[in-house]
Amino acid sequence: MTDVNQILTERLVDAREAAFCLKLPMYLLTNPKDRQRLCLPHYRVGKMVRFKVSELMAWMHAQAQAEAEANAGAKAQGESSDA
């Protein structure tokens, strides 16, 4: 189980800083429809949107892994149809 103090002490960053750290376009973090479509982890603090860099990095790794699995599946599907 994750330590509660670790969760509470992690710094929340704004969209500009998160985009800079992760080399993502800022519109993905600022546009509510894009955030919802991509299931980006974020927090609302009043009218502001904040992010935890560690959660965004985990999200990016999960997206990359899902894409790699999809590409591997498509490649395997293509090889079986060639036979």
Q: Give the pLDDT score at 78.
A: 64
For the chain, the domains span: 10-82
- pTM, two decimals, is 0.73
pLDDT at 4 over 90: no
Nearest of 4, 10, 13 to residue 50 by alpha carbon: 13
Please give the average per-residue pLDDT across 70-78, as a whole number.
74
Q: Give the pLDDT score at 9.
A: 78
